[in-house]
Chains A and B, each alone.
Chain A
């Protein structure tokens, strides 16, 4: 039973289109994220939501609009897709580990977006 699942796994689309990536977690976590892994392989946070509320927006263009209908879901909608949006997008959720103190994030398998 997948803990963090995102769909689709692959997405190929033309410039200018609007697309959505869906994410669901069944771990009961309060916090969900979207990360982007670019061509240089850096994994960078885009958004963080806690209990459906936006916590972090890391200077992402407003063409990207996350939506959290409930704390188990965080979808990413992208308007007017550009070539530079091609990347792998990872959804994640987290819970603070009381014993260790740190936050362990669980990641989905990623969505490879290719804009042509």
Chain B
């Protein structure tokens, strides 16, 4: 039972353009959603999060949008840079549950 799904295993974007990574979830109990970035041979690192009571959170080049009615969120990166090439994981959290439920990740490649 996959509560968080990232249906695109990979995405290629040209440098300078916008990257949009998508995530769907089924558990309406999630209070927060988080995006993690992972480089090869490293652990995931926290990127940005959004509370379930908000529909947008922005941090520099990164913006996360949440559509609760569609149970869908997306991460926008603009402009995309070569250093953004990594695997991006979406995760949901139920406050107090002390665990993150991850999607399977999307590999983003930024082409020069």
A58-93 interface (Cβ within 8 A of B): 58, 90, 92
Let me know if B104 and A42 touch, CB within 8 A: yes
Interface assignment of B43: CB less than 8 Å from any CB of chain A: yes
Consensus secondary structure, chain A interface = strand
Are A102 and B41 touching (Cβ within 8 A)?
no
- Check if A110 sits within 8 Å of B49, measured CB to CB: no
* Interface presence of B69 (CB below 8 A): no
Residue of B nearest to A49 (CB): B98
**B105 close to A56 (CB less than 8 A):** no
Let me know if A109 and B42 touch, CB within 8 A. yes
Which B residues are CB-close (under 8 A) to A92?
43
Decide: B49 and A105 in contact? CB cutoff 8 A.
no
Tell me, in angstroms, the Cα distance from A109 to B40 when the chains sit together: 9
For the complex, what is the distance from the CA of A103 to the CA of B98, rounded to whole Å?
Answer: 8
Contact between A31 and B98 (Cβ–Cβ < 8 Å)?
A: yes
Nearest CB in chain B: distance from A70 CB, A: 18
Residue pair B100, A105 in contact (C-beta under 8 Å): yes
Q: Does A115 contact B (CB under 8 A)?
A: no
Seen from chain A, the residues whose Cβ lies within 8 Å of a Cβ on chain B are 4, 9, 31, 33, 35, 40-45, 48, 50, 55-56, 58, 90, 92, 94, 100-110
List 5 A-B pairs, minimum CB-CB distance, nearest first: A107-B43, A102-B32, A43-B102, A45-B99, A102-B49
